[in-house]
Structure 1
Amino acid sequence: MTPLWLFSNGRLRDKLEMLGRSASSELLGWDADELLALPEADVIDHLIDVATIVCPALDRNSAYMLDPHEVDHQFYDFGQPFTRRVTRFDLVVPFDGNREVFTLQASTFSTSQPEAEVRDGQLRIYAFPNGQDAAAIKANFDGQLDRIEQQLTWSRSDIEAHQRQIETDVPRLVRDRRAKLLADRDLHANIGFPIKPRDDASTFRIPFQRRTVTPRKPTLSAAARFTPEPALGQADYENALAVLQNMRNALERSPSTTHHLGEEQIRDLLLVSLNAQFEGKAAGEVFNGSGKTDILIRVEDRNIFIGECKIWKGPKTVTDALDQLLSYLVWRDTKAALLLFIRDSDVSTITAKAVAQVELHSNYKRRGSTAAEDRYDFVFHANGDTTREIHLALLPFLIAGKSRPATQM
């Protein structure tokens, strides 16, 4: 491979601007149905990856020497080039990051740059002994690496500034693009001419009566390939979790009442509280029990809310509960809650173990918006389909044992 002068073949700023334009172009060219169907966070993550570049980081501790070899090298004498056969020592330095950064000039730069070979995952620099001792040759290599790392520091500063801008711009661009596509379809649907309906075009949100809930109006035409699916609204989800948290606090303050109860009995108490607050449009109860531990809202043959109750018996309790939750057929944006009943007073330690176990699950995607001692949010994907997301809230319950002060909850 031919050596090149580092950080001198084009401007880094031009490359970063080109990456930003590439992400915008990809967003505009994205198939509309796919863009609307994919989780927004996944689209944002992908476009941020497209629009950014990883600055290399040298692993100097893993550097190693190649065997010495002779090469024909060009020298200059009073400006005149001449070639001489000389011995060359090569130092190989591993790195992580994008190799292209080594070729581009940052906004801050030095005119004194070494020659090197840039390969995938490794940088090769070299020195000519020319009568020098080992200490002098090592100092030569260290000096070259110091200059390279100084230049990488300047490159990293440019890249991080670009990254911050992209992380601000991309979410807004994605939201605006999706909103425009939905608005276009809404306008199309309201022009007045008949549109051929699809068998799978029915879409609705579960209405509740005891709380004031505004049903979501479908914003897509019946002819569109993408259609919203039954979903529990975020406000209703938060209200349901608030009911569960309030009931959790009440149970924690009454250890003499709960110490003899099993999962199913505690579940039934929670169902009473939930249905005292929420009522289905067509039936008295919208929250129903299924099996021993489930709290469900079911639409047709699928669950849009799943609450799983488990008594902590070790990390496997969490894994088993998640596997059970994920075994259900789900719609996109299913909401779920894992109610973890803890009979040990060291709730904080057990909760930390439970959170760690959640993040080890193969369907785990990312943390959600809430992380507090009484609730942790996560996003999972459905079995076999990464575009269908399950929003999970982990709610730890102290059942019997020593109660925590009420102010902690």
Structure 2
Amino acid sequence: MTEALFHSYRLPDTLRTTSEKVRNRIANWEIDAFLKASEHDLIETLVSEGTVDCPRLLRDQAWMLDIAETDEEHRSFGETVVRGVPMLTLVVPFTGEAEVFWCQPSVWTSVLPRVASLGTTELRVTVAGNFTDAAQAQIQFERELDLIDTYLEWCRQDIDQHNEGLRSAVSGWVSARRQQLLAMRNLQAEIGFPIRRRPDADTYSVPVTRKTIAPRRPPASGNEPFAPEPVLAETDYEAALEILDAQRNALERTPSVAAGMDEESIRDLLLINLNAQFKGTAAGEVFNGAGKTDILVRERDRNVFIGECKVWKGPKTVRDALTQLFGYLVWRDTKAALLVFIRTKNVSVTVKTAIEQIEAHPNYKRRGTHDTDGRIDFVMHANGDPDREIKLAFLPFALPSDAVSRFAKAETTD
């Protein structure tokens, strides 16, 4: 007894239903958990749930059951005669979702494949008859498997189209839902950190060219409602990094200027240029120095931008900087920059080692959007809270160690 495949449900309708389930999951997600979760992790989780895995037959792993016998009816002299004939059963493993075998693709014919049984990881195909040689049975098996593969290829065309459009759709749905929820609470205007460009910025212009973790609440604060927090706007973050990049290029091109400077002196020079371009609403300066090497933007009692300046003294430099960085109390979506002043001969090897240290850190989540010689982005998370993401831009400064400061020259002359 066999049953036909690819005819019970229409595959395009099933795929639309799958997308709607994902959209409904977004709409019905508990509000505080949705707002607290990392948007990237939400999207990855939902895309994973909505992605369909089209089956693939593992024909090279097929194997035979012991030969059996089945009854077969024959007409003889006007009468129906039942007699036993040999029956061969081929077990074929497959990958992917077994439900697809029941779905009719957009392209199909009236000839349907048939199987003896369909499980979650394998199907069984039978042929019966008095074969004179093995080749006859093999041809029948191959013919049936070829027909199944043809239908799977038609299904794959529908499924690939669904999967390719899913990520874009989910990203839009998640973003729209977040904005809707924030607007409902009438707090959207309070989320952006107030920062604006100085109207006199042109006077001081700096030449610029412009492992899946499922979202979850942290155990310590899982029952607390979501509280919108101020963040540094993405455009302001990018503008600040462009200013730092321009200043880095200037220092690299005039090594004698930086030769006599320590971390704090270089940090202060960077602060001058940052505050020449930005100002806060309540004070003239928005970027401030704290301690020996920090560049900070603070809102009330917390940091929304953290810049760590370190002179490279080996891999421990990066580990210490990250420990210091994650020791701060951070807002959600904190932006950060790690500025490493490299005075070694082989800058490329030093940069490679620094990147390895960042990616080996337990708070590392994934690479960010930028990956150039002058800037490599990472997404980290706060201590104990994978949903509190920290955008970290790593900016290496190549400052030759053999450069002589012009100030040192003046002292020698005197």
The Cα offsets for residues 228-286 of structure 1, whole Å up to 9 and x where unpaired, read as 21211222212211111111101111223335655444334333433343344555543
What is the identity, as a one-letter code, of the residue corresponding to 2:309? C
Written as runs of structure 1 = structure 2, the 5 A alignment for 1:47-62 is: 47-61=46-60
The Cα offsets for residues 18-60 of structure 1, whole Å up to 9 and x where unpaired, read as 1122122222223333333333333333333343312223444
Counterpart-to-counterpart distance in 1, 2:312 and 2:125:
57
1:205 aligned partner:
193
The Cα offsets for residues 81-102 of structure 1, whole Å up to 9 and x where unpaired, read as 968474534334242x222112
Counterpart-to-counterpart distance in 2, 1:94 and 1:364:
36
What is the identity, as a one-letter code, of the residue corresponding to 1:183? A
Residues 13, 210 of structure 1: CA spacing in aligned structure 2 closer, same or farther, 3 A cutoff? same
Question: Contact 1:16–1:52 (CA<8 Å) still a contact in 2?
Answer: no
What is the identity, as a one-letter code, of the residue corresponding to 2:15? L
1:22 aligned partner:
21
SS in 1 for 2:104: coil
Question: Contact 2:230–2:331 (CA<8 Å) still a contact in 1?
Answer: yes
Counterpart-to-counterpart distance in 1, 2:54 and 2:165:
16
1:377 aligned partner:
377
Counterpart-to-counterpart distance in 2, 1:75 and 1:354:
73
Identity across matched positions, percent: 44
Counterpart-to-counterpart distance in 1, 2:381 and 2:357:
16
1:69 aligned partner:
66
Written as runs of structure 1 = structure 2, the 5 A alignment for 1:251-266 is: 251-259=251-259, 261-266=261-266
Is 1:288 equivalent to 2:276 in the alignment? no
Compare 106-115 and 129-138 and name the one that shifted more. Answer: 129-138
Counterpart-to-counterpart distance in 2, 1:204 and 1:103:
50
Residues 326, 6 of structure 1: CA spacing in aligned structure 2 closer, same or farther, 3 A cutoff? farther
Instruction: Pick the structure with greater CA Rg.
Output: 2
Counterpart-to-counterpart distance in 2, 1:58 and 1:237:
50
The Cα offsets for residues 69-117 of structure 1, whole Å up to 9 and x where unpaired, read as 2445465657x8968474534334242x222112222111352414164
SS in 2 for 1:69: coil
2:411 aligned partner:
none
Is 1:334 equivalent to 2:322 in the alignment? no
Counterpart-to-counterpart distance in 2, 1:335 and 1:270:
17
Q: Which structure is higher in RCO with an 8 Å CA cutoff and minimum separation 6?
A: 2
Question: Contact 2:363–2:383 (CA<8 Å) still a contact in 1?
Answer: yes
1:152 aligned partner:
152
The Cα offsets for residues 190-247 of structure 1, whole Å up to 9 and x where unpaired, read as xxxxxxxxxxxx867244573699xxxxxxxxxx954321211222212211111111
RMSD in angstroms over aligned alpha carbons?
Answer: 4.0
Question: Contact 2:85–2:130 (CA<8 Å) still a contact in 1?
Answer: no
Which 5+ residue runs of structure 1 have no aligned equivalent? 190-201, 214-223, 404-409
Counterpart-to-counterpart distance in 1, 2:327 and 2:62:
51
2:244 aligned partner:
244
State the number of aligned residues. Answer: 375
Which 5+ residue runs of structure 2 have no aligned equivalent? 202-223, 404-414
Task: Give the Å deviation of 1:11.
Answer: 1.7
Task: Give the Å deviation of 1:348.
Answer: 5.6
Written as runs of structure 1 = structure 2, the 5 A alignment for 1:162-173 is: 162-173=162-173
Residues 208, 72 of structure 1: CA spacing in aligned structure 2 closer, same or farther, 3 A cutoff? same
Question: Contact 2:88–2:127 (CA<8 Å) still a contact in 1?
Answer: yes
Question: Contact 2:5–2:112 (CA<8 Å) still a contact in 1?
Answer: no
Written as runs of structure 1 = structure 2, the 5 A alignment for 1:98-247 is: 98-110=97-109, 111-115=111-115, 117-125=117-125, 130-131=130-131, 133=133, 140-186=140-186, 205-207=193-195, 210=198, 225-247=225-247
SS in 2 for 1:25: helix
What is the identity, as a one-letter code, of the residue corresponding to 1:65? W
What is the identity, as a one-letter code, of the residue corresponding to 1:298? R
Task: Give the Å deviation of 1:152.
Answer: 2.1
Counterpart-to-counterpart distance in 2, 1:118 and 1:322:
53
Residues 145, 286 of structure 1: CA spacing in aligned structure 2 closer, same or farther, 3 A cutoff? same
Written as runs of structure 1 = structure 2, the 5 A alignment for 1:259-408 is: 259=259, 261-282=261-282, 285-311=285-311, 318=318, 321-343=321-343, 351=351, 354-355=354-355, 358-359=358-359, 361-400=361-400
SS in 2 for 1:275: helix
Counterpart-to-counterpart distance in 2, 1:132 and 1:345:
78
2:207 aligned partner:
none
SS in 2 for 1:395: strand
1:221 aligned partner:
none
The Cα offsets for residues 335-382 of structure 1, whole Å up to 9 and x where unpaired, read as 111223344566566656655664555444444343333223333332
What is the identity, as a one-letter code, of the residue corresponding to 1:371? D
The Cα offsets for residues 128-172 of structure 1, whole Å up to 9 and x where unpaired, read as 685465556555555444433332221111012122333333333
Task: Give the Å deviation of 1:300.
Answer: 4.2
Residues 64, 284 of structure 1: CA spacing in aligned structure 2 closer, same or farther, 3 A cutoff? same
Question: Contact 1:209–1:281 (CA<8 Å) still a contact in 2?
Answer: no
Compare 324-333 and 141-150 and name the one that shifted more. Answer: 141-150
